[in-house]
Amino acid sequence: MKYIGAHVSVKGGVSNAPLEAARIGAKAFALFTGSSNRWASKAISEEETERFKANCEAGGFSPAHILPHDNFLINLGSPDPQKLGMSRKSFIDEMRRCSQLGLTMLNFHPGSHLKEIPVDDCLDLIAESINISLDQTEGVTAVIESTAGQGSNLGYEFGQIAHIIDKVEDKTRVGVCVDTCHTYSAGYDLRSEEGYAKTWNDFDRIIGAGYLRALHLNDDKRELGSRIDRHEEIGKGTLGEEFFIRLVNDPRFDNMPLILETPNDAI
């Protein structure tokens, strides 16, 4: 069964997210548990936590189909020791917020070297950051999102994600979310039938299909291999409708959250 949904608003409180997801007919959803652009967010009250859980239950949303996203300031591979420390503290807080809400995953962009340290050193820092975070939290899986490779962002090659996972000590609590726009912009030809098959075969060979926890369903404003992150509405970009029809009929992606981040007004 496919669990398709969208990234929904938490306006008025995190407990409103499952209500919004139910309103649009989603079977899964993504959310920020706090601010998307601040290092720290206001604590979630116990009352709000219970409302969130109750609304999830009423809407039929399992934690396996809810994909929180961390804030955009976090860089777990930062070459700046101060920013790295702030990122790790903020990420641990994000993990604990997920745990408080009864959620089991936290999606995040792996990190950026900012052209100040070698790629492998940055990947090692990201893995170290994940290990520190997992040691200080319980029950939440760190889900690495594939990136477009814009600027100095890492995680655009399957080999880079595999490098991180290889150095994570508790491999039961690490996974991957493939963003279709990012992956196409990174140079993986998801659009053609042959390229689609090769991309997923490469993912399985290099990372391992067992690590796939979720997909972000985004069309792409740019061309294959652009290394630019620009989402487009489904069917209106360079990936096109045929790709998404192929994907939603692919049984490999059953029973995981498939999240639209660029929903149109029809939803």
| pLDDT over 80 (residue 265) | no
In a domain, 266, yes or no: no
In a domain, 236, yes or no: yes
* Average pLDDT, integer, range 150-171: 98
Q: What is the pLDDT of residues 39-59, one digit of tens each?
A: 999 999 999 999 999 999 999
List Cα–Cα distances, 236 to 221, 232, 245, in angstroms: 8, 6, 13
In a domain, 227, yes or no: yes
3-state secondary structure the chain: CCEEEEECCCCCCCCHHHHHHHHCCCCEEEEECCCCCCCCCCCCCHHHHHHHHHHHHHHCCCHHHEEEECCCCCCCCCCCHHHHHHHHHHHHHHHHHHHHCCCCEEEECCEECCCCCCHHHHHHHHHHHHHHHHHCCCCCEEEEECCCCCCCEECCCHHHHHHHHHCCCCHHHEEEEEEHHHHHHCCCCCCCHHHHHHHHHHHHHHCCHHHEEEEEECEECCCCCCCCCCEECCCCCCCHHHHHHHHHCCHHHCCCEEEECCCCCCC
Q: Cα–Cα distance between 142 and 20 in angstroms, integer?
A: 25
Q: What is the pLDDT of residues 169-212, one digit of tens each?
A: 999 999 999 999 999 999 999 999 999 999 999 999 999 999 99
Q: Which residues form the domain of 77?
A: 3-260
Indicate which CATH number applies to the domain containing 192: 3.20.20.150
* Average pLDDT, integer, range 243-248: 97
In a domain, 64, yes or no: yes
In a domain, 265, yes or no: no
pTM over 0.75: yes
Number of domains in the chain: 1
Q: Cα–Cα distance between 69 and 77 in angstroms, integer?
A: 17
In a domain, 79, yes or no: yes
In a domain, 81, yes or no: yes
In a domain, 267, yes or no: no
